[in-house]
Structure 1
Amino acid sequence: MTKAIDSNITDSEWEVMRVVWAQNKTTSKDIRDIIENKKNWKPATTKTLIGRLVDKGVLNTEKDGNKYIYSTNLKESDFLKSTLEQTFDNICNKDIGKIIADLISKSTLSYIDIEELEKVLEMKKEDAVDVVPCNCVPGQCNC
């Protein structure tokens, strides 16, 4: 039976996942060594976070002698998209455009990124509406 995946991960768990995604397969020592420059974690902290990610079904483990190798079947881009979709599901439809614009204005983008965004926005014009309808139940927003 396949274990269900809990995609709600903490900021610290994200730090671990970013290492696993970058390394493909790694040990807790490797994770600790990589994050060491950014976080002042004790070895037990790293092991606790890894254990939580294993329990959530996000990390896989395989034993190699006296150590464990950690990996994931989840693509970073798919996981990020899923997380963002979950976040956007909790926002009033009328606010999504403003939030995306705010995210873009605060982001460092390359010329290629901007060209891609312009293409997407140009295609979105074909389906654009005059007013985005609110998707909240009464009392959930200020529409």
Structure 2
Amino acid sequence: MKSLPQISDAEFEVMNIIWKYAPTNTNDIVERLSKDKDWSPKTIQTMLFRLEKKGVITHEKESRVFVYSPLIKKEAYIELEGNTFINRFFDGALSQMVLNYLNRNELTTEEINDLQAILDKKRKK
């Protein structure tokens, strides 16, 4: 997979809004983020500028507002970040990550059944 730029946790929250509602304008992004975050509009605009500079979003000017769209798919970014995490903390061994999680957390019967269904489906492929 090609290399994608690193984005911060805060930038990822902005990206989630853009991925979910694109194309979306600055005012809508600020309004949606203001519901959960105590960020000023200037802070959000700075993050939008950084994301555009990193090449993960683009904008068009419509009337007096910027309308943003993603240049990368959320799934591609999550796949890259997941692989980076596994490589960094578990030497690329997914099974070690899963075992680590299972040894530290209790799963419900439903979660175990869901995981088993995923594994069964993978085995059939």
Provide TM-score, normalisation by structure 2. Answer: 0.77
Match 1:64 to one of 58, 62, 65: 62
CA shift in 2, pair 1:98/1:89, >3 Å = closer
1:60–1:72 Cα contact (<8 Å) kept:
yes
- Paired position in structure 2 for 1:15: 13
The separation in 2 between residues aligned to 1:66 and 1:98, in whole angstroms, is 52
Letter in 1 for 2:18: V
Which runs of structure 2 are paired with 1:1-143 in the superposition (5 Å)?
Answer: 6-93=4-91, 96-101=94-99, 102=101, 111=110, 115-122=113-120
* SS of residue matched to 2:24: coil
2:86–2:97 Cα contact (<8 Å) kept:
no
Higher helix fraction: Structure 1 or Structure 2?
A: 2
**What count of residue pairs does the alignment treat as equivalent?**
122
CA shift in 2, pair 1:66/1:89, >3 Å = same
Determine which structure has more spread, i.e. the larger CA radius of gyration: 1
List 4+ stretches of structure 1 deviating above 2 A.
Answer: 4-7, 91-101, 105-109, 113-117, 119-126
1:59–1:70 Cα contact (<8 Å) kept:
yes
The separation in 2 between residues aligned to 1:76 and 1:6, in whole angstroms, is 11
Provide TM-score, normalisation by structure 1. Answer: 0.68
* SS of residue matched to 2:29: helix
1:117: Cα distance to partner?
2.4
